[in-house]
Amino acid sequence: MKNSQNRIYKRVVIKIGSGFITGQTSDSGTCALNRLVEEIYSFIRARNEAIIVSSGAIALGATKIGLKKRPVDLPGKQASAAIGQVDLMKMWERLCAKHGGIVAQILLTKHDFYDREKYLNARNTILKLLSLGVVPVINENDTVATEEINFGDNDTLSAVVASKVGADALIIFTDVDGFYNGDPRKNRDAVIMREVREITNEMKRAATSSAGCSLSIGGMASKLSAAKIAMASGVDMFIVNGKKYSCLSSILGGSVKCTKFISEQKMEGKKRWIAFGARVSGKILVDAGAARAIGKMSTSLLPSGVLLAEGGFHRGDIVSVFCADTEIAKGMVFYSCEDINKIKGHKSSEIHKLLCRRDYDEIIHKDNLVILS
């Protein structure tokens, strides 16, 4: 499928929120989901690939055990998810079987992305399923994901998955028409942004100011975070009103009113893992000169620009690089936290004198460094 910018969309991740799934109980909701699955299969029959990221386990589980509201406590959410995930998969199996399709369940947590080998393993499984013509249905593994290690929302999970499998596009189906440049409840001039090439501070403010209204179910802020991941990974991302539109070729072809975040770069695979998958084990604070050099001149991070290292990390770990209060980069370190604190502020030529060895000139080599802002 080609769009007006001549981009070809062959591998697409489709994120479907809890609202869409629970709406199934009404006739119109059932129709919308049936239509969407029909669209997914006509897309697949045209030699494309689709991966579904589906929420709804907690909502379905809570309803099944008679809860009036979605639980807020962790054990309650986890128990509901364990119950609801069964029904969620039964639903996808039934819907896809109508088209002769087979589905596969994949449950992931942030932990599964921390280790690069595990990360690549999950990716290979998804790619194998696609090659078999099976539709992977992915959700967060809510039953084991504790607060500290959960994605929390499937917007972010879907973007990380899209980045990981090298998808061409991510479509987030929600209940609003797209991303507004303000809160339409308060500002009558707020309009939908049809094309976004850069996420600005104004957009971040607009996303936070609309928190709490139906606009932000799933959260526009989390959709912006997802867009940031997608755009850095060569994935175009669409926010679409699933109640109005389901035709994938119209959405991807640009004839539907929605918001499209256009990706103009594609980070190399290892850098995508450093930026969006790996566990961050510590923090390095750098001075403004070093921040400029790594950001503007794409240099490696040298000891001379480092002010402090924190977190007790080891060589080979991933750390966040800060300049004052702003996180400016992430990277894989060549030295431990302890060693960096011994060589910080010094020239690389002095490393041997200070550590009695000199493994590398750089604290983080530019090949292992991802600039975030």
The first and second tokens of residue 166, run together, are 């090298």
The answer to the question of residue 139 lying near ligand GLU (CB under 6 A) is yes
The first and second tokens of residue 294, run together, are 């790594």
Binding region for ligand GLU (CB under 6 A) out of 52-60, 95-103, 105-113, 173-181:
52-60
The answer to the question of residue 140 lying near ligand GLU (CB under 6 A) is yes
Binding region for ligand GLU (CB under 6 A) out of 57-65, 204-212, 316-324, 334-342:
57-65
Interface residue with ligand GLU, options 36, 37, 51, 58 (CB under 6 A):
58
The answer to the question of residue 300 lying near ligand GLU (CB under 6 A) is no
CB of 174 to ligand GLU, least distance (A): 11
Token pair 């309803």 is at which residue? 63
Residues 200-219 contacting ligand GLU, CB under 6 A: 218
Q: Please name the residues in contact with 185: beta carbons below 8 A apart, sequence gap of 6 or more.
A: 210, 213, 215
Query: Where would I find the H helices in the chain?
Result: 18-22, 27-45, 57-64, 74-97, 111-114, 116-131, 154-164, 201-209, 220-232, 248-253, 269-276, 288-296, 337-343, 351-355
Contact track, ligand GLU, 227-266, x by CB under 6 A: ----------------------------------------
Stretch (H or E) spanning 329: strand 326-332
Alpha-carbon span 239 to 259, nearest angstrom: 5
| Pairing status of strand 326-332 against strand 369-371 | antiparallel
The answer to the question of residue 112 lying near ligand GLU (CB under 6 A) is no
Interface residue with ligand GLU, options 17, 101, 282, 305 (CB under 6 A):
17
CB of 81 to ligand GLU, least distance (A): 6
Nearer to ligand GLU, 155 or 317 (CB): 155
**236 pairs with which residues across the strands?**
169
**16 pairs with which residues across the strands?**
54, 173
Nearer to ligand GLU, 89 or 323 (CB): 89
Which chain residues interact with ligand GLU by CB under 6 A? 17-18, 55-59, 81, 139-140, 142, 153-154, 218
